[in-house]
Amino acid sequence: MRSVFETMGTVASIELAADEPDALDGIRGIFADAEKRFSLYRPGSELSRVNAGERPLAAASAELRDAYALAMDWHLRTAGAFTPNRPDGSIDLNGVVKALCISRAGELLHSLALKDWSINVGGDVLCAGLSPTGDWVIGIVDPVDRQSLLCALPLGEGRRAIATSGSAERGDHIWTIDRDTAAEFVQVSVIAEDILAADVLATAIISGGIEMLDLATDTWAIDVLAVRTDGSLLATPGVRSLISV
């Protein structure tokens, strides 16, 4: 049973095995609370007020400081490729907040003993158990023709999350490290057990290019399908084996 609602400037699609109004209300609440706190489009959000200098970061809520600390932690782990600090000095936590909310929504469903579900928010997916048709099969959009799929692959134990970032999103919360270098990838999909790692690393690879791609595949248990600017593809061994299933 699928439910759809708008949040964070995009759309969330939740699939549950049965009608679960309480679970859906809980998930809506998680996203609504985060949007109220972190939105850069709402002048009254806590983060907007911090950026406007109306509130010092040190006096911000624990939720905001925790999210910033987490983003800075990933900044260090990706050698600067991922960053919550915009070139103009303001803080943008969109790179972690959506994934954090998806992660929390997953924990909520787990705590309600729901075993089979998927959460897709703006193209970032976390799933558990089985879909009505078996494995959760995820299609990856072809950035050259967004009405068609590049490939389809199953998620499962150990790789329950997939996040895709595109270079067209840059200017939103993605900036290349070397601003003179054109982006090497137009789209990067990262498959991981954890939606936050998948989302952060997909963003970092768009921003940091092939060097960050190699660092990411060497360091974390992830799989990657990357589309270069000429439309050609790079895939890790895991992606090759998944698409041949």
Partner 1 sequence: MRTRAVLTSIFASVGVLVIGWQAGSAAMTSTQPTRTSSGTSGTSTGTVLGTTTATAPAASGAADGSYTGDDVNTRFGSVQVQITVSGGKLADVTALQLTDHDRRSVQISNRAEPILRSAVLDAQSASVNNVSGATYTSNAYLQSLQSALDQAGL
Residues 213-242 close enough to bind partner 1 by CB under 8 A: 213-215, 217-219, 221-226, 231-240
Q: Which is nearer to partner 1, 52 or 152 (CB)?
A: 152
Q: Which residues of 118-137 are buried (b: 16+ CB within 10 A; e: fewer)?
A: bbbbbbbbbbbeebeeeebe
Pick the binder of partner 1 from 52, 57, 112, 168 (CB under 8 A).
168
Write the CB contacts of 167 (distance below 8 Å, at least 6 apart in sequence): 174, 183, 185, 186, 187, 206, 229
Q: Tell me, residue by residue from 44 to 63, as one string, x for binding to partner 1 by CB under 8 A and - for no binding.
A: --------------------
Q: Which is nearer to partner 1, 32 or 235 (CB)?
A: 235
Pick the binder of partner 1 from 45, 51, 164, 207 (CB under 8 A).
164
Q: How many CB atoms lie within 10 A of CB 28?
A: 16
Q: CA 211 from chain center: how many Å?
A: 20
Residue 211 touching partner 1 (CB under 8 A): no
Pick the binder of partner 1 from 124, 183, 184, 201 (CB under 8 A).
124
Nearest distance from C-beta of residue 88 to partner 1, angstroms: 21
Q: Is the separation of the CB atoms in 102 and 119 below 8 Å?
A: yes
CA distance 127 to 14: 10
CA distance 208 to 206: 6
Residue 80 touching partner 1 (CB under 8 A): no
# chain residues binding partner 1, by CB under 8 A: 71
Helix (H) or strand (E) holding 41: none
Residue 187 touching partner 1 (CB under 8 A): yes
Nearest distance from C-beta of residue 131 to partner 1, angstroms: 5
Nearest distance from C-beta of residue 55 to partner 1, angstroms: 28
Q: Which is nearer to partner 1, 133 or 179 (CB)?
A: 133
Residue 176 touching partner 1 (CB under 8 A): no
